[in-house]
Amino acid sequence: VRKVRTHHLADMKARGEKITMLTSYDMYTARIFDEAGIDILLVGDSAANNVYGNETSLPVTVDELIPLTRAVARSTKRAMVLGDLPFGSYQASPEQAYLTAVRFMKEGLAHAIKLEGGAEMAPTIRKLVEGGIPVCAHIGFTPQSEHALGGYRVQGRGDAAEKVKADARAVADAGAFAVVMEMVPGDIAEQISKELEIVTIGIGAGAGCDGQVLVWTDAMGIRGPDDGKLPRFVKKYADVRGQLLEGAKAYAAEVKSGAFPGPEHTF
Ligand code: KIV
Ligand code: NA
């Protein structure tokens, strides 16, 4: 199988073929999503919530994310594996960002990295790209800035549209090969996608983007009733939680009743 490269993504944009991205944090989901033909697997810092049990993405560390990234990379034949730089591991300087990104490539075996921020990250993006690291930017609502942005809110409504457009322009000019746009009004995201030469990947940014990304634990229904409300932009494609719950209950019932193990499971 041919690996998905940045130039393939550019070709897909040129052809008008939509690009698919899902998060993945472990071997089995990586293998399954790769087999399904998902183009990019993002080992998101959303692992903070979805693996490590935090309420936000802020607490997760480089040392926690790198082993997950490596597991996903080892389990993927075709998909591009995108490492996600966590809060505090790149904002101090382009040098800090470069050293962290190198760890994600060397130890995490990532093929490219993602970082949050627009125009203010341009020098950092330039530094990474000059060092041979493909960079995906992330603009609009950026979860690592949740406290600064005042919670989960759509970015780029009204006058703020100009800021999102300027951020998109700046990260493209700095050499990013792609940009994730999160919670941006659909008409603005569509306009940016048409004007920008690089690939745009939307999450809560409408159908006009060049591709889409969802957090797999949201999209595949593994979250339970106590795990918070799904954002409006998520669609549920499977009921993994229901399947696991039924399976675990059936196993427990058979062990309690003595139905498992049977003679065929016994030496
Ligand atoms: O960490 C993550 O899951 C992300 C996606 C929401 C794009 O950054
Ligand atoms: Na992220």
In this structure, are residues 42 and 22 in contact, taking their beta carbons and an 8 Å threshold? Answer: yes
Same domain for 58 and 97? yes
Same domain for 122 and 137? yes
Q: Is 68 domain-assigned? A: yes
Number of structural domains in the chain: 2
Pocket test residue of 29, 33, 57, 217 for ligand 1, highest count of atoms within 8 A of CB: 57
Cα–Cα distance list, 74 to 78, 107, 111, 117, 151 (Å): 11, 11, 11, 28, 35
Find the ligand nearest to 231 CA: 1
Q: Which pLDDT value is given to residue 1? A: 86
Kindly report the CATH number assigned to the domain that includes residue 220: 3.20.20.60
Angle between helices 62-74 and 27-35 (to 10 degrees): 40
Q: Is 186 domain-assigned? A: yes
Find the ligand nearest to 44 CA: 1
What interface predicted TM-score (ipTM) does this complex get? Answer: 0.99
- In this prediction the pTM is 0.97
Same domain for 24 and 47? yes
Strand partners, 43: 83
Q: Is 1 domain-assigned? A: no
Its domain, for residue 90, covers 6-236
Same domain for 151 and 207? yes
Same domain for 48 and 31? yes
Same domain for 184 and 108? yes
Same domain for 66 and 144? yes
Same domain for 119 and 31? yes
Q: Which pLDDT value is given to residue 225? A: 87
Return the residue whose CA atom lies nearest to atom 4 of ligand 1: 44
Q: Which pLDDT value is given to residue 27? A: 98
User: Is 254 known to be catalytic?
Assistant: no
127 is in an annotated binding site: no
Ligand 2 ion: residues within 5 Å (CB): 44-45, 84
Q: Average pLDDT for consecutive 10-residue bins of the chain (267 residues)? A: 96 98 98 98 98 96 98 98 98 98 98 98 98 98 95 92 98 98 98 98 98 98 90 96 98 98 98
Same domain for 66 and 46? yes
Same domain for 158 and 192? yes
pLDDT by residue (tens digit) across 10-27? Answer: 999 999 999 999 999 999
